[in-house]
Amino acid sequence: MMLTPASPGPICSSLMACKIKVDLGARSYEIRVGEGVLAQVGALCRELELGPSALVVSDEHVNPLYGPAVESSLRAAGFQVGRVAVPAGESSKAEARLFRLYDEALDRGLDRRAFVVALGGGVVGDLAGYFAASYLRGIRYVQVPTSLLAMVDSSVGGKTGINLPRGKNLVGAFHQPVLVAADITTLRSLPPREYAAGLAEVVKYGVIRDAAFFARLEANLAGLRSGEPALLEDVIAHCCRIKAEVVRLDERERSLRAILNFGHTLGHALEQVTGYGTYLHGEAVSLGMAFAARLSTRLAGLPADEAERIENLLRALGLPVDRPDLDWSAARRAMTLDKKTQDRVLKFVLADRIGAARPGVEAPDAVLEEVWTEGRQPKKR
């Protein structure tokens, strides 16, 4: 495969974590990405004049690993600190967990000056963020993402929420954090499959917004796969810059922000029809992006060799791209349930070329089924 020359991209010094501003007027905040950021959380919160009380919300995997460091950083900065851990996994994004957090906060006497520190992956970020959005009509919160997916995506942009038995993310709020502090050393303990799933969202940014960044990813496969620190810091910071820019332009997802859902229409459907037990979110998004890329060649003029580059990059990063052995009718039905479907017409985010995507493209059923069938895995016997 011919590689496009790699662009130099932004360089961050690992001595001083990268700083990225999310520019939203009165709701603006900073993202810090680097090594050792965890130990700075307390001082950064003090600079923001938060407090005096902090409630650290984490999960049972992440809390024993990084809870003590965050707590001592906050205590050293003069805060009173409580720490709670929910069970790890998607099932914690639920009403019962949320209500236990309200009880915990009331038991501790937390008032409106208190703030929340969400320490963990996207599940903790969404749950703790929504808790912060709703407790006492809204208190401030800090995102301390520890999964790659949370660092490049869910911790930035202020979408918070929980699931209902009838679907994912059906209750939530836009509530921006006051700080995002991403310590890339925490990624060392992230299970490799979770790490690879996060890379799917990284690839997404190249496809939707930045062809030179996409080429850089192609040119740095080994470093990405091994999690080379300087490269990771740079890549995560760049993804955050892209997300920050998209959110600045369309905070409430009236139009442009929907491009961040590239690959998610089919991705969410696959997660749903397989009962959320088969694919990690990023894996389902990878399958969805490969599908959306093929659909883009049919409906948006994406050159076929660019669709192939998207598939090749995902595959090289250890991600699935072949349509799974699933009935088209089941996948199609699940896509109709997506909360972004309007009047049952399926709309996709499609790419005109690598680096440029647009939302809201209607896709005729016949074309969808053809693309699904073309990329289908042969049936196992």
Ligand X SMILES: NC(=O)c1ccc[n+]([C@@H]2O[C@H](COP(=O)([O-])OP(=O)(O)OC[C@H]3O[C@@H](n4cnc5c(N)ncnc54)[C@H](O)[C@@H]3O)[C@@H](O)[C@H]2O)c1
- Supply the minimum distance, in Å, between the C-beta of residue 284 and ligand X: 11
What is the DSSP secondary-structure string of 114-180? -EEEEEESHHHHHHHHHHHHHGGG--EEEEEE-SHHIIIIITSS-EEEEEETTEEEEEEEE---SEE
Q: For ligand X, which stretch binds (CB under 6 A), given 94-102, 110-118, 183-191, 340-348?
A: 183-191
CA distance 142 to 132: 10
Q: Using CB under 6 A, pick the residue from 34, 67, 122, 206 that binds ligand X.
A: 122
User: Closest CB to ligand X among 238 and 281?
Assistant: 281
User: Closest CB to ligand X among 13 and 189?
Assistant: 189
- Supply the minimum distance, in Å, between the C-beta of residue 169 and ligand X: 6
End-to-end alpha-carbon separation of the chain, Å? 33
Q: Using CB under 6 A, pick the residue from 48, 88, 316, 361 that binds ligand X.
A: 88
Instruction: Enumerate the active-site residues.
Output: 137, 159, 201, 243, 253, 257, 261, 264, 268, 281
Q: Using CB under 6 A, pick the residue from 22, 33, 98, 149 that binds ligand X.
A: 149
List the Cα angle 192/193/197 in 5-degree steps: 115
Question: Should residue 238 be labelled a site residue for ligand X when binding is judged by CB under 6 A?
Answer: no
Question: Should residue 190 be labelled a site residue for ligand X when binding is judged by CB under 6 A?
Answer: yes
Q: Using CB under 6 A, pick the residue from 12, 86, 114, 123 that binds ligand X.
A: 123
Question: Should residue 257 be labelled a site residue for ligand X when binding is judged by CB under 6 A?
Answer: no
- Supply the minimum distance, in Å, between the C-beta of residue 93 and ligand X: 5
Q: Copy the structure tokens of residue 107.
A: 């038991």
User: Closest CB to ligand X among 175 and 358?
Assistant: 175
Q: For ligand X, which stretch binds (CB under 6 A), given 45-53, 84-92, 106-114, 298-306?
A: 84-92
User: Closest CB to ligand X among 170 and 304?
Assistant: 170
**Residues forming beta bridges with residue 348, ordered by sequence position:** 361
Of the candidates 76, 78, 11, the one whose C-alpha atom is nearest the C-alpha of residue 38 is 76
Q: For ligand X, which stretch binds (CB under 6 A), given 118-126, 135-143, 229-237, 316-324?
A: 118-126
Question: Should residue 250 be labelled a site residue for ligand X when binding is judged by CB under 6 A?
Answer: no
Question: Should residue 35 be labelled a site residue for ligand X when binding is judged by CB under 6 A?
Answer: no
Quick check: 124 and 160 in contact, CB under 8 A?
no
How many Cα neighbours within 13 Å face the side chain of 179?
24
Quick check: 256 and 359 in contact, CB under 8 A?
yes
CA distance 84 to 87: 10
* Total chain residues near ligand X (CB under 6 A): 29
Q: Using CB under 6 A, pick the residue from 35, 90, 369, 370 that binds ligand X.
A: 90
CB-based contacts of 261: which residues, under 8 Å, 6+ apart? Answer: 340, 349, 359
Question: Should residue 253 be labelled a site residue for ligand X when binding is judged by CB under 6 A?
Answer: no
CA distance 109 to 82: 11
- Supply the minimum distance, in Å, between the C-beta of residue 280 and ligand X: 7
Quick check: 146 and 186 in contact, CB under 8 A?
yes
Of the candidates 90, 83, 25, the one whose C-alpha atom is nearest the C-alpha of residue 275 is 90
Question: Should residue 177 be labelled a site residue for ligand X when binding is judged by CB under 6 A?
Answer: no
Question: Should residue 267 be labelled a site residue for ligand X when binding is judged by CB under 6 A?
Answer: no
Question: Should residue 288 be labelled a site residue for ligand X when binding is judged by CB under 6 A?
Answer: no
Which residue do the tokens 């699935």 mark?
320
**Using alpha carbons only, how large is the chain's radius of gyration in Å?**
20
- Residues in contact with ligand X by the rule CB under 6 A: 59, 61-62, 65, 88-90, 93, 120-124, 126, 146-147, 149-150, 153-154, 157, 159, 169, 186-187, 189-190, 194, 281
